């Protein structure tokens, strides 16, 4: 899945919002904590509201960033069933920061469609929050 967002924020600020776990938590609509693990990864704490249900769960995540190339890669495994890979590629165009986001899901369960809808909605909110920060 490919999403694109255009923000009226400096590229460095957008990069820091996505690559720094503390900053990411401040702008993400459903991730409320990212705790560092001894191996350098993070334990992500997420609360997802679906209809009238609140689903609270944790999962490990890696974040790799390249400040020179303005790229961030995140990998996570949710409930040992869904492997998620996200790559953000940042660039500038006409005084705006353009974020191209590439998301892939791998699972033995048919979850890509539902997960795609959730990610699209939540990441629209994520980038609105970055824009408004």
pLDDT digits (tens, 9 = 90+) for 5-36: 999 999 999 999 999 999 999 999 999 999 99
Q: Which residues pair with 92 in a beta bridge?
A: 97
Q: Which residue has the higher pLDDT, 113 or 12?
A: 12
Judge contact between 12 and 20, C-beta under 8 A: no
Residues 65 and 72 sit within 8 Å (Cβ to Cβ): yes
% of the chain at pLDDT higher than 70: 100
Question: Is 28 within 8 Å of 35 (Cβ atoms)?
Answer: no
- The domains located in the chain, with CATH, are 2-28+63-132 (3.30.530.20)
Using DSSP, state whether 69 is helix, strand or coil: coil
CA nearest to 58, candidates 38, 72, 41, 39: 41
What pLDDT is stored for residue 115 in this prediction?
Answer: 85
pLDDT, tens digit (0-9, with 9 covering 90-100), for 71-109: 999 999 998 889 999 999 999 999 999 999 999 999 888
Residue among 95, 103, 100, 105 nearest 127 (CA) = 100
Torsion angle defined by CA atoms of residues 131, 8, 76 and 60, in that order, rounded to the nearest 10 degrees: -50
Q: What is the pLDDT of residues 28-70, one digit of tens each?
A: 999 999 999 999 999 999 998 877 888 899 999 999 999 999 9
pLDDT at 55: 86
| d(C-alpha 90, C-alpha 69), whole Å | 8
Report the C-alpha dihedral over residues 115, 17, 27, 3, rounded to 10 degrees: -30
């Amino acid at each position: 899945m490919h999403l694109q967002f255009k923000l009226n924020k400096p590229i460095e600020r957008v990069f820091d919002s996505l690559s720094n776990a503390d900053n990411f938590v401040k702008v993400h609509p459903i991730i409320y904590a990212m705790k560092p693990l001894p191996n350098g990864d993070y334990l992500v704490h997420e609360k997802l509201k679906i209809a009238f249900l609140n689903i609270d769960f944790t999962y490990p995540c890696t974040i790799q960033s390249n400040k020179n190339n303005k790229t961030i890669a995140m990998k996570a495994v949710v409930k040992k069933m869904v492997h998620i890979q996200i790559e953000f590629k940042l660039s500038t165009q006409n005084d705006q920061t353009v974020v191209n986001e590439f998301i892939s899901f791998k699972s033995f369960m048919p979850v890509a469609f539902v997960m795609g809808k959730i990610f699209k909605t939540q990441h629209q909110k994520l980038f609105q929050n970055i824009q408004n920060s």
